[in-house]
Structure 1
Amino acid sequence: MTVNNSRISISLAVLVSCLLVPVVLPVQEASAQEKTTEETWKVNLKNADIREFVTQVSVITGKSFVVDPRIKGNVTVISSTSMDKDTIYELFLSVLRVHGYAAVPSGNITKIVQQVLAKQSGNPRDFLRPAQSEELVTAVIPVRNSASEDLVKILRPLIPQYGHVAGISSPNVLIISDHAGNIARLTEIVNRIDIADNQTVEIIGLKDAWVEDMVGLLQELAPEQIGKGAKGPNRVTIVASERTNSMVIKGQKVTVERVAQLISQLDVPANRSGTTKVIRLAHSDAVEMAEILRNTIVDDEDSNSNKVKISIQPDEAINALVIRAAPSAMLEIMDIIDSLDVRRMQVLIEAAIVEVTADFSRQLGSELFIADVSGSNLPLGLTAPSGTLAQILKNLALGSAVSPDGVATSPLLNIDAGTSPLLAGGRLSADKTSFAAIIRALSTNGDVNLLSTPSITTMDNEEAKIVVGQNVPFRTGSTTSGSNGASNPFTTIQREDVGLTLEVTPNIHDGNLVQLKVHQEVSEVDPGSLSVIGAEGSADLITNIRTIDTTILVDDQEVIIIGGLIRDKETSNNSKVPILGSVPGLGFLFRSTSTTTQKQNLLVFLRPTVLDSRAAITSATQRKFNSVYEVEIEGRDPANVMSDLFNGNIP
């Protein structure tokens, strides 16, 4: 059907309900002869109902629309150009967008909704089907080289209020809801931004320069490219690794190569031929540390005269090391010093060395007893013991022999010197006061000779030695003539310690388990040798020696007993009747002489205490004073002398 323009205008004016009038544009005769049948339309609307507009577009385009009930209003369209179906639909989408509405495709149906709700109704875009520029769609855009969350910050200002953009880190994509035309524009922006990062990372190890000095020098040379405030495409990130004296550089490949070349030119031996440091030692000996370092650090035998030779010299006056070495060797030396220069633990070793008589020794062998109610220590044996010490050991195991302040509260105060208490063998429970209680019990027994109760503190793995006795001269040779035949008699002697010697070397293991290497020696001059006079008029002394050499493992503060060395002791007893026994000639009738031989057994009680802190040392010292010094001050409770000792108030 062919109508003219004037007829169209009249039809639109008379029939308000006809919003669109199809027009077949006039064509030239040549075109008519070609039988062109394509239809076009002109659209001119004034305050037309938008729903009628949707209806006419549906008739022209053949699309099916579902209109939201909230879609209302009038539209005005002025156009003097003929349009085909696709152009009419683009015009329709533009009119909807101007009035705050949007067309959302959903399969074969298009929904007409408000723009604020369109992003919740849109379907993912089918990129195989061309979309109208004003069509509201949801697109998923993959991001390959950048972080999607970073791109969201850039794209959000470009999205209208009714649109939506979000980034998902996995699988690193962007989700955008907007009109197809704007999505196409945003996609192009993303493609321009999301380009491959051509930055590279390189690790450069320094041989002669300090890494911190090198980083500072580079930052001064190019502060706009290197450092925290560096910006721009040529910026370089440098991280220093002091442990390996190396640098980690990240940036554009060309820039990194230039920086690496500059570093290689700067990393050369210094004119002063090395670096010298003075390191004060806190716990180790400077001489010993220097010897360890010299044996550990091997100097590079390089003929290059610029190479720094390692020099380590100790200064005993201030206990310090003077070290001169290249930076790489200096780092290794400092690591070794930090690992070795640590505070060493100490061990307090308390001992009781006793001699027991034969009767007492037999009881020890037959009535071995150790009480253990906690189950932490293993008894060596159990019989039916009797006597004062048996009760003491029982009370010690029950924790009632002494009070917390070290004052005896049970049989320790009532030991009868005339009894023969049982002596325990093996290990005793770790109790801070039981050791002093045992010594006190032994010292009051007539059948026990308490030779010594030494205690000494030594470093871990250092030998401690205690000698109690006399330095006795022993003849080693003699002569009666000199070199020229003249008479010049003389005797050579050598002095040796005779008495009690205790040598202990502790070694602390994990869990405060202490290994003790013990050497115990008790020696005395044989009285019989004093009566034998040699041809030279002097006596050749003979010594009786009893020695114990052993290595044992003991827990911290645990008591252990070693011994079993038996000797015969002869004792001469003279008895006489008073006055009559001293009468000359007849006195022998009123006096008698007897010799008694008695077997004695040597036993050693040992208790190590690990001192791994200042508090442990103070506690051990306090306990030692509590067990030895107690005084009564003005009728008050027994007080510890230790505090008065340091305050200068000893009574």
Structure 2
Amino acid sequence: MPHSWQTCHASRSPHPWLAALLFVLLPLQALHAAKQQYSINLKNADIREFITMVSSMTGKSFVVDQRLKGKVTVISNTKMGPDAIYELFLSVLRVQGYAAVPAGEVVKIVQQVLAKQSGNPNDFQRRDSEEIITRVITVRNTSAVELVKTLRPLVPQYSHIAGLNEPNALIISDHAANIQRVEDMVARIDIADSSSVEIVQLVEAWVEDMVALLEQLAPEQIGKSAKGPNRVTVVASERTNSLVLKGQPETLAKMKALITELDVPANRSGTVQVFRLAHSDAKDMAELLKGLVSEGGSDPKQGAGVDVPVSIQADEALNALVIRANPATQAELTDIITRLDVRRLQVLIEGAIVEVTTDFDRTFSSELGIGDAMSSTTPIGLTRPLGTISQLLQSLATGTAAVPTLDSAPTIGAGRQSENGVSFAAIIRALSTNRDTNLLSTPSITTMDNQEAKIVVGQQVPFRTGSTVTGSQGATNPFTTIQRQDVGLTLEVTPHIHDGEVIRLEIRQEISEVSQSGNSNIGSGGSADLITDRAEIVTTVLANDGEIVVLGGLTRDKETDTESGVPGLRKVPVLGRLFKDTTTKREKRVQMVFLRPTVLRTGESMATEVTRKYRGIWEVEIEGTGVPEGVSNLFNGERP
């Protein structure tokens, strides 16, 4: 919004001679006004009238914001000169929310929130304390930007303060009195750093041990809570085994004297210690520690000036470590052993392997044969020359048993034998087989975190791998090589616990079994006599504690239709069935593998799982036999 301004000052005469007269009289009037004393007493007077009165008393010209309104009450029993009246005037403006901003020969009356944008940065020393001005304060030893964070709460809300990086200075717009106060505070804060830096080379002690000891002896100077001029900053240089100190010279001198007294040769007694491990393996722990210090070598802290050979040996019988080193190294190795020798979490891994198999076989065939009992050739006519009917007629003609010539399929036959004429026979075979199998395997195994575990449930089946013939002096000795292999269920798993909840599982799961359909004898010249069905899963999965995950699965649906018979004749409608066999085979298999890991954090959780597993064993009581109350009773000789 545009501002309207009113200017209060002496009128300019249009006549030249009057202007010359005023040029001579005004300085005299100002000098007279400077010596004149005034008494001001106002009650609910208009503020604009008050500004006009002050203008006439002080001889100043004002540019007034049109929005300035209000009533003024001033009570004074003391006469004041122009300077005191002007200070009183600035105080009244400040109460009204306005400020006086010098602008050349005039003074602008503006709102305080806008005064910081109009402050005059010039001639600071001669400004009245209640005038709004802008000042640039140079900062030499402290960051001006960081200094603003300290000064901002100390200045009025309407004032403006900002820090510059280049140059390193503060810009502030405020009343002159406030700026003077800020300048005083900056002068006290912006002090050159008089601290010095010194390096202390240690001869006997190790720097980390020395720092820890100094923090205990002088926490008010070196600790995290150390403050004040006596504060000392200590930095340990492990590469040179030295201490870097920063602080006041007097404090550093005392600190160096203390370090000199502490930097003495270490006590060599008691450098051999025995550590009984509670959870870790002594042999594995010894190998780990030997990787940190060379076997038979000296202390890795070469700057400490202590040449004590370090030796680490494992006693597997006691599951203990025997360590010989200087006290500083002993302390470091003790800390490492304490952190590593902790109870490891265990994981119970439960699996569920579900397999559903459905097989369907159907076979149908028919045969017809004609023979002559008086003839030397039997039979003389067949629908299938190589079928069962041919063998049957020959058996009938020769009087031998006919049963061995029949197969296992259900057979319906009819025939007639004539000694003087033609004999005939007919056979119809039909077979339908259904086989359904449901298999559920639930292996489970418990292992430690990051430790591989393996469970095998099955049989060792002999497989023929080869055969040779050896002999001497004309005698032969056949020799067959046999190799036994595991056939059944195999589960190998390595759990890795992350963040206490997520478990990464490295899994190898295999199911193998001797095939029910393909194990006809391959022959004496074959390299094996058995065929096995095998399914294997190798994967890595993530699972939450107690979460069930599916590792994988297989769904197989197979259908086979087979037709065999006499070419051409088997295609004849109706009669073609006498010249062919039909076989239909359908096989469907569904196999899924599920896994559930559970973290066993304490002994109580292990006991809970043991009880749950034990109760799951005795779901059915055989012949009324009682079940022991707890699994511990089994170890006391009690039997179910």
Q: TM-score range by the shorter chain?
A: 0.3 to 0.5
Q: Normalising by structure 2, what TM-score?
A: 0.47
- Looking at secondary structure, tell me which structure has more strand per residue: 2
